[in-house]
């Protein structure tokens, strides 16, 4: 297993090199291996240096140089193309098509990873649910195209005011989910308030000089004890978010 991981790591490092650099590395490795094999065979067959040792060594260097160069160039190019295609496929599998955020499946996977790590490292963590207010009315009155544009703007607004270490995903419909590592109550509330203000400030032009806007209600919950499921935190954050809506919408509510 460790050998497989080392080979995968080596493959990734080689593919990060320019094609010329990767080819040169492969050719150099081929020459070294060929020369070493020639020396071992010479010693094994002649018990020392062969009569035409340097002729054999020149062949051992020349053959890999001539053969390994074009072959490795072709292989490296193919591997790089496969790597790019695999990255694009993973991007499609992990991202929400409309907003570009993490989709729900990938978000839950990464969120549970953070939830498992935080207690071991004695770090706080918070989860927040974000729901755009009266979004059905926006779709009904302005059309689904304007609604989709607002979703994209709201998604970008969330990302723009959060840290690179925070997770942002589309939970479904007009609802987003956030995971805030290293966030205590004050930090989590401040982050949620930044998100709320960013969404409130965003707008989408819909023609005739008018613009579509929306607000958001947020529920925030702090990390439960170690071993808690992410779904439990989401449920509590959802309850806090609906409480924010009952209190008048466009606000942040911290779960008890």
Catalytic residues: 174
The CB-side HSE value for 29 (13 A sphere, CA atoms) comes to: 8
Among residues 59, 58, 39, the alpha carbon closest in space to that of 49 is found at 39
- CA 256 to chain CA centroid, Å, is 32
SS3 177: strand
Q: What phi and psi values does residue 61 have, to the nearest 5 degrees? A: -85, -40
Q: What phi and psi values does residue 172 have, to the nearest 5 degrees? A: 150, 140
SS3 18: coil
- Residue bearing tokens 């609802």: 175
CA atoms of 96 and 171, how far apart (whole Å): 10
Do 143 and 161 contact (CB within 8 A), yes or no? no
CA atoms of 138 and 143, how far apart (whole Å): 7
CA atoms of 45 and 47, how far apart (whole Å): 6
């Amino acid at each position: 297993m460790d050998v497989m991981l080392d080979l995968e790591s080596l493959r990734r490092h080689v593919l990060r090199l320019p094609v010329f650099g990767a080819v040169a590395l492969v050719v150099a490795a081929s020459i070294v291996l060929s020369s070493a094999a020639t020396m071992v065979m010479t010693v094994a067959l002649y018990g020392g240096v062969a009569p035409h040792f340097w002729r054999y060594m020149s062949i051992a260097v020349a053959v890999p140089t001539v053969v390994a160069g074009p072959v490795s160039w072709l292989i490296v190019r193919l591997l790089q193309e496969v790597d790019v295609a695999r990255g694009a496929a993973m991007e499609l599998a992990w991202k929400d098509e409309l907003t570009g955020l993490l989709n729900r499946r990938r978000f839950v996977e990464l969120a549970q990873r953070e939830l498992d790590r935080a207690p071991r490292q004695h770090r706080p963590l918070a989860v927040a649910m974000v729901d755009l207010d009266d979004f059905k009315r926006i779709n009904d009155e302005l059309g689904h195209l304007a609604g989709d544009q607002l979703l994209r703007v709201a998604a970008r607004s969330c990302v723009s005011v959060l840290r690179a270490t925070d997770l942002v995903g589309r939970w479904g419909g007009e609802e987003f989910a956030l995971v805030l590592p290293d966030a205590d109550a004050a930090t989590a509330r401040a982050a949620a308030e930044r998100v709320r203000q960013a969404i409130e400030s965003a707008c989408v032009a819909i023609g005739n000089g008018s613009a579509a806007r929306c607000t958001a209600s947020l529920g925030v919950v702090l990390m439960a004890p170690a071993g808690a499921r992410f779904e439990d935190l989401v449920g509590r954050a959802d309850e806090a978010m609906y409480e924010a809506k009952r209190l008048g919408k466009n606000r942040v509510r911290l779960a008890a």
